[in-house]
Structures are given as structure tokens and as C-alpha cells.
Structure 1
């Protein structure tokens, strides 16, 4: 199959995966939000940063190294598999022991059991990471989707059933664990590759040398992306964190669909043409214009319809989250562009520069939080917009040197989509207000 056909097929099946499987999970979270409330989702928000860190530690950037390596063979795959497994056992033990201290930090005793139960997902991640990396490397996205269907469907059924019968926060926990466990079983038994009994120190040094820098930058990214959860969970109410989590989930969902499809397909594609810099620059420009012309009008439009959307979908108890949602939408629209810039660094093996950029952007984030904290939750949420824009400019500056596509040209190419987004907001928000005023007259 030609590269063009592989890319098109990858886009179609990755989109199907995200729309069906991620869509199913998203719908389940909406149902659970109506069955439960802000408190339960706030508790999950408190532990999300720790679970994300655990999953990242288990992978340690090794999957990206396998996908990137053009001459990877069974020695690479087997070495990374056992390395992942060893790391997962260490991480599981560490989080199991740390759970009571995390619960004490938030003054929520129930978090001890939640974190310990969630920690089993680290083992599932280790057992399936290499198989998934191989399938992604071969661009077999159809097979990935089919293997993930049973676990997602069964997990959703379990979660909704537990929520309906009053199991509260545990319905969210068991939905996640059931999905991860069953997905791992299917990936393990239906994947063609199985680990051998050999381990190469040479291969370990090669992949860990690349992956370790991605790991450090990924850790910075996760910690600081979730620092709002930590700050709100510690200094404000658990309900406030629940509102913030739902608002961010709703705003992130559409952009992660688009970014997930394009990122998953184009990273292997760009890795294959990494020696043709002019070609990469052309592909990058098309991705930038295409994605932002979707996300800018979409997110501006979503912000315009925020209040009726939350009232209709989640119910009156979630209306305070609508204002948070409107603000976060302004930051979320840039998410795919962030990813495209970062992928350029990864394709050219600049994990060292990747780490430096993450440190620089996190300094910006910390300053933003310190300045915004006295203004309460709304001040913190507005700081996400400002820091997102500054971080985007930093990413553009460093990636542009590699593909000869300057930040000013990138921003200029984004202007038409941004103006279209503003017009979309004005039209939709104006219509919402007219309909609301008309309903008051009836």
C-alpha cells in the first residue's frame, strides 16, 4: 500500500476509533454525570494527575522510540516489553504505598482505596504497550479499533450499571479498570507479536536514551497540566473541582478527536519523510490550516452555546461549569497546533530540546498561576488561556527552524480561521440570547 493510501486509511480508521469508542466513553461520562454529581467527579479529578503520571512512567517514552526507529526488530520489541513490565511493578508498588499520603494531602480518606485500585491499570498498560506501538508503527489502525471495541463496550455497561445502582465514585473507577483490563486481554491474545526470552542492554540504552527525555518532558507536562486540579482540589471545594473537570472534559473532547486522528496518523508519516524537509513543511502547513479552520469556529461556537448546552446535557446541578467551559474553550482551540509543533521535534529526534521547551513553558505556567491565584477560580481559568498562547509561540519559535516555516507565517495562516471563529461566536451567542429573551415573553 502506498504512503498516501496508508495515511488515508489511517485517518478513516482512527476517526472511527475516536468517534465510536471515545464517543461511547464520553456519552457514558455524561450519563454518569447525571446519575452522580460534581463531588464524585471532583474526587476523580484529584487523583487524575497521579494516575497519568503512573501510566507515563510505565511507558517512559519507549513506545515513541519504537515507532520512530526505522530498523526496529524483535530484540527492540522484547527488550522494551520487559523494561515496561519491570517499571510497571515498581510504579504499582510506589503508588500503592503513597496512596494514604495523597489522601491526607487532600483530606479525603476515600482517595486511598481509589488510587490503589486505579494502580492496577499500570500493569495493564505495560502488558499492551509494545503491541500497540507495533500496530501504530505499521499503521494498522483498523485492527487497533476492533481490538478495543469489546473492552470499551463492557466497561461502559459496567460503569453505567454501577452508577444507576448507587455505587457513586466507584462506578467511574470500575468503568476505567474494566475497559483497560479487557482491552489488554484482546490486544495480548490477538496481536501477532509475542515477547521472546532475550533482553538486550544495547537496545535498552538506545530506546531509554531517547525515551527518558520524552519521559521527563511528559512528566512536566502532566504535572503542570493538572496543577489546576491540585490547586483547586486543595484550596477550594471538591465540587468546584468537579465543575472544572467537566468543563475541561467537554472543551477538550472535540479538539482531542481532531488532534488524536491527525497526530496518530501523521507522526508515523512524518517519521517516514523526515529526510525531506521541504515536503514536511508543506504537510505541516496543510495540517495547521485544516485543523485550525475546524477547531477555532467549533470552540468559539461551543462557547456561545455553553449555558443551554450544560443545562440540556448535564442538568441544572452542572450549570456553574458553563462559565468555566466558555473560558477553557479559548485555550483548547490551540491544542492541535501545539501537538503539530511538538511532533516536529520528536520526528527529528530533538528530545533534548523538547525537554528544555517543556521546562520553559512550565515556568510560564507557574508564573501565570501565582499571578492569577488571588483572583479565585475564574482567575486561574483565564490564566490557562494566556499561558496556552505564550506556550504556542514558544513551540512555534523552536520548531520553525527545522522546517523553515516561521512563527509569523504560521500565525498569519491562522488568522482567517480565528476571525471565522469570532463571527461564529457572535452569531450563536446572539441567537441564544434572542431565544432566551423570547421565551421570557411567552
Structure 2
């Protein structure tokens, strides 16, 4: 795979993340100005359980499809149906446990929100395999267009609901519609379609690599979200919203830049996994590109945190400024 194709892939991968996240950022700013911090705190608690479910559904085996040199439709279909099966089981657990979550946080609204938002696990199961196919084939231009369109439509739905007084349900709808639209559009616009095909040999072949990545992804997700569970229990939902809003902006910068580079380089590494020197060169390239873009943005965010929050999110969100500054410095080391 030549450097020109790699740089093109990185460019489209960045475009995908930047365009979709720019739309999401604008939408989130509008919603934050309309909705109360408590609405964000309620959603943050539910999102922890959904994020853990997502990690269990998607973490590892989609990456195993990208890592495998000659993965075919049988491999994609097999892993897809395993992921869907796991997602249905996890949703059933989440549905049953929703009242327990509500009781633990002393908030009756959490039961229905958890049961509704948990449905996205099934869509995420299919979407994770679609994203693996895009990554394997370096189809980042299609992903860019679909991701941006999904962010716009889901954002408009969220804003309209917020303006009509829907409260936290505006955030739930935006969150749900984003993955539903992406999954539906990718079914039409990429060559691979889920088919009723499952091979145990394919699953066994990818289990070794996928299970290790799955374990690492799950542990990382738990590590990132355990603080949210603790803050949501010990403090108010508004305090949790301030913490999460302060974390959101540096997390967005770091994850988008690192993930954009990583999405392109993983299939490159997989294709030439027997050539250590080439892989080392590409790894150095990824570190240089990420650092060149990331460091100025993060330190700039630290410097303008108070003015940024006051200008875009209004005075009601000013308590999140200390979190924004501290967590910006934390994320720059990741």
C-alpha cells in the first residue's frame, strides 16, 4: 500500500471526524444553551451502561476483521451475527436491570430512558461491522458523507425536540438517531450486506486476536466511565453534567485525531504485518501527525477555557471550566 493512498485515507478519515464532530459540536452547543445541566447529567448516567454494552458488542472483533489479511464475506457475516446475538442478550439484561439503576440513583426517569437508549446496542452491533468493512477497504469518503449527514439529521431532531420542551428526551433522540441513520445508510452504500451466514471456523480463527482486543477495550471503557458512575451517585446530576462537559471537549479533540490516524493505519499495518521496518515508519508517521495537530489545540483550549465556555455555553455552564482545564492536560498525555 503506497504512501499516497495512506495520506488520502488519513485525509478522508480526518474529514469524516472533523465534519461530523463539527456538526455535533454546533448541535451540542445549541442544545446546551436550551437544556438544563441536569438533563445532561441524567443522560450521562445511562450512557455509561450503554457505552459498556457497546464495548462488549463491538470491542475487538470488528478490529479482528480489519487485522485479518484476507477476511471475506463469510468472516464479516459470522462476526456480524455473533455481535447481534450478544447485543440482544445485553439489551435484555439492561432492560431487566433498568429499575435497579433507577433505584440506585434515586431517579425514576432512568428506567424508561435506559430501556429506550439501550436499543441502540443492536444497531451498534451491525454498525461496528460496517465500520470495519469501511476501514478494511479504506472507503473513508463514503463514511465522511454518511457520518456528516447522520450528524446533521440527528442534530436537527434533537434541537426541534429541545425547543418543544422535551428535555432529556431531546438528547436521547439525538443519540439514538445518529447510529440508526448511519447503519441504515451504510446498508445501501457499501458493498457488504449482512447475510444469513455463520461459520464457526471463521469465529474461532478471529477469536484469539479479537478476544484480547475485546478485553482491552472493555477494561478501557470501564476505566473511562467508572468516575461518571461515582460522581453521579455521590453528587448531583448537575455536578455530573459539569464534569462531563469539561471532559467532552478535550476528549473530542484527542479521540478524533488519534482515531482518524489509527483507522487508516490499522489496515496498512495488517496488509504488511510481516514487514517490521515499514510498520515502524508508519507508526512514527502517525505519532508525528497526531502530535503536530493535537498539542497546539489542547494547550489553546486550556488558555481560553473560561472565555470559550462563557461565549458558547453561557454562564450556567461556567462551573465546568476547572474540569475543562484539568482534563485537557490529562488527555494530552494519553
Which TM-score applies when normalising by structure 2?
0.95
Give ranges in structure 1 of 5+ residues lacking alignment. 336-442
Instruction: Give the match for residue 299 of structure 1.
Output: 298
Deviation, 1:130, is: 2.2
CA contact (8 A) 2:19 2:144 kept: no
Instruction: Give the match for residue 262 of structure 1.
Output: 261
Instruction: Give the match for residue 115 of structure 2.
Output: 116
Distance in 1, matches of 2:197 and 2:237, equals 48
Deviation, 1:97, is: 0.8
Distance in 2, matches of 1:298 and 1:135, equals 28
CA contact (8 A) 2:265 2:282 kept: no
Instruction: Give the match for residue 175 of structure 1.
Output: 174
- Aligned residue for 2:198, secondary structure, equals coil
Instruction: Give the match for residue 401 of structure 1.
Output: none
Distance in 2, matches of 1:319 and 1:193, equals 47
Summarize deviations over 1:86-127 as a string: whole Å, max 9, x none.
Answer: 111111111111111111111111111111111111111123
Distance in 2, matches of 1:241 and 1:225, equals 14
- Aligned residue for 1:226, secondary structure, equals helix
Distance in 1, matches of 2:231 and 2:196, equals 47
CA contact (8 A) 1:292 1:333 kept: no
Instruction: Give the match for residue 185 of structure 1.
Output: 184
CA contact (8 A) 2:18 2:256 kept: yes
RMSD: 1.6
Instruction: Give the match for residue 431 of structure 1.
Output: none
Deviation, 1:60, is: 4.3
Distance in 2, matches of 1:321 and 1:308, equals 12
Alignment partner of 1:41 is 2:58:
no
CA contact (8 A) 1:39 1:242 kept: yes
- Aligned residue for 1:319, secondary structure, equals helix
Q: Point out which structure has higher relative CO (alpha carbons under 8 A, 6+ apart).
A: 2
Deviation, 1:285, is: 2.5
Distance in 2, matches of 1:230 and 1:142, equals 37
Distance in 2, matches of 1:80 and 1:301, equals 42
Deviation, 1:305, is: 1.2
Alignment partner of 1:72 is 2:71:
yes
Count residues with an aligned counterpart. 334
Summarize deviations over 1:217-241 as a string: whole Å, max 9, x none.
Answer: 2111111111110111111121111
Deviation, 1:23, is: 1.2
Instruction: Give the match for residue 128 of structure 1.
Output: 127
Instruction: Give the match for residue 103 of structure 2.
Output: 104
- Aligned residue for 1:157, secondary structure, equals helix
Distance in 2, matches of 1:87 and 1:50, equals 15
**Residues 59 and 317 of structure 1: is their aligned pair in 2 closer, same or farther, counting only changes over 3 Å?**
same
- Aligned residue for 2:194, secondary structure, equals coil
Deviation, 1:212, is: 2.0
Distance in 2, matches of 1:177 and 1:194, equals 22
CA contact (8 A) 1:243 1:318 kept: yes
CA contact (8 A) 1:58 1:122 kept: yes
**Residues 198 and 293 of structure 1: is their aligned pair in 2 closer, same or farther, counting only changes over 3 Å?**
closer
Distance in 1, matches of 2:246 and 2:215, equals 28
CA contact (8 A) 1:89 1:123 kept: yes
Instruction: Give the match for residue 6 of structure 2.
Output: 7
Distance in 1, matches of 2:264 and 2:128, equals 17
- Aligned residue for 1:197, secondary structure, equals coil
The residue correspondences of 1:285-364 to structure 2 (distance < 5 A) are: 285-335=284-334
Which TM-score applies when normalising by structure 1?
0.73
Give ranges in structure 2 of 5+ residues lacking alignment. none
Summarize deviations over 1:31-57 as a string: whole Å, max 9, x none.
Answer: 111101211111122122211111122
Summarize deviations over 1:207-266 as a string: whole Å, max 9, x none.
Answer: 233222222221111111111101111111211111001000012122223212211111
